Chain A
Amino acid sequence: MQTCSEAGQRPVHHRWSSPTLFSFVVGSLLLGLACGCGSERPTVANDPDQLLKQMSEKLAQAKSLSFKVDRKLDAALVEGRNIPENAQIEISVSRPSKFLAKSDSGDNARQFVFDGQNLSVYDETMKLYATVPVSGTIDEVVAKIDEKYGFTPPLAEFILSDPYGALSPRIKSQVYKGKETVGVVECHHLSLGGDVADSELWIGVADLLPRKLVATFKGREGAPQLQAGFSDWNLAATLDDKFFTFVAPQDAARVEMVTEAQMKETETKVAVRQK
């Protein structure tokens, strides 16, 4: 900047004094922050909560759907066994009250079948099955068997009528980590912190469907993980009622499905006997 000095009538260069420069820099920064310049403002496209809601709505709107999951469980998360488990899972759902989940881990194949009136668990490997009467919507039945029998179908959170309602109460913190590619699918990467598990979830940018989940169970020694890769999504699957009807094979034997209360009673009896 040039001006004339009154003394010498010579053009001189004004020098920026330190306070002026400081004020300029701080002012520019404040203006930048106010305008949102230089920082990524939260939008629907990168708001983890909004993305979870959109994923949930997409799943809930599908009345008849099927998908596959490639699930890896660390040894510490496999009930009663101390070896990791890799399972291929196929899940089919007909809302409001039917589902079928087939799980095959190589040495153990199981089915969970709910036809609206009964839930059957079939151990294909050992040719054993248990059927219990339980009725209601998928949400109601998942909650009932969770409470009474202490389990849910694999990744049940994603087949409920409101996955967001099932997932969000557990989420204590959430961060949008950016866009990443899972396989060939461009995804939003969300980091979801919880009390029991911290989860990384990848949701497809184009279809808003879950593509990958990595849950770290931090309360356990070694922080074991569950990894799930979702694929083959069909939100308009053709599934008739017969598909969800469990018919026990002739060579299969019926066994009892033990409730949590029965198991606790057994534990108490054993403890008393040991004293």
Chain B
Amino acid sequence: MKPIISLCRGTISAHQRRKALVRAAILIAVLLSNVTVALAQVYGVARKTTVVSGPNGTVAASKTTVVSGAGALPHGYIAVLPGGYRAVTVSGARYYTVGGVYYRPQIYQGRTVYVAVRL
């Protein structure tokens, strides 16, 4: 068989080269199959990367912080219903009402939250 690559000591045949390429491909496949799961959660606690933009859209700073507490929910959302609520069914969907306000339950970040709605 005609040698295709000459090294300092010895030669590699086309067959050997093919075998080496197959081995390399298997190694790459194994490495890629073991990709780390990069979670945005730390032991189940949410964190968020805040990017501070500078002039012309440049990134001035990037900081990872843990986000939780009452501040995490947008306006109109609550994590706990006010006392004295009662459940009602409207068009087959469950709502809760208290003090004249209606709340639609949703699951957000694995927990139940309630958003004030107009019915």
Contact = CB atoms under 8 A, between A and B. Distances in A.
Classify the secondary structure of A's interface with B.
mixed
Contacts of B10: none
A136 B115 CA distance: 31
A129 B94 CA distance: 11
Interface stretch (B11-19, B20-28, B53-61, B65-73): B65-73
Nearest to A269: B74
A195 B64 contact: yes
B98 interface: no
B33 to A, nearest CB: 10
Contacts of B70: 80-82
Interface in B66-119: 66, 68-70, 72-80, 89, 93-94, 104-113
Given A162-B36, A255-B94, A258-B106, A219 B66 contact: yes
Contacts of A59: none
Contacts of A160: 37
B112 A79 contact: no
B4 interface: no
A186 interface: no
Interface residues on B, range: 35 or more
Interface in A165-181: 165-166, 168-170
A152 B68 contact: no
Interface stretch (A7-15, A21-29, A143-151): A143-151
A86 to B, nearest CB: 15
B68 A79 contact: yes
Nearest to A129: B107
B34 interface: yes
B68 A78 contact: yes
A232 interface: no
Interface residues of A, number: 59
B62 to A, nearest CB: 11
Contact of A220 (B36, B66, B76, B112): B66
B81 to A, nearest CB: 9
Contacts of A139: 37
A143 B66 contact: no
Given A152-B44, A155-B43, A263 B38 contact: no
Contacts of A258: 106-108, 113
A110 B110 CA distance: 9
A247 interface: no
Given A79-B69, A80-B78, A196 B47 contact: yes
A77 B39 contact: no
B48 to A, nearest CB: 9
Contacts of B45: 73, 77, 197, 215, 217, 226
Nearest to A215: B43
12 contacts: A75-B69, A76-B69, A78-B69, A81-B79, A143-B38, A151-B110, A152-B44, A196-B47, A196-B66, A258-B113, A266-B74, A267-B74
Given A78-B69, A80-B80, 6 more contacts: A80-B113, A121-B110, A149-B109, A168-B36, A217-B66, A258-B113
Interface of A: 73, 75-82, 110, 112, 121, 123, 126, 128-130, 139, 142-143, 146-147, 149-157, 160, 162, 165-166, 168-170, 194-197, 213, 215, 217, 219-220, 226, 228, 253, 255-258, 263, 266-267, 270, 274
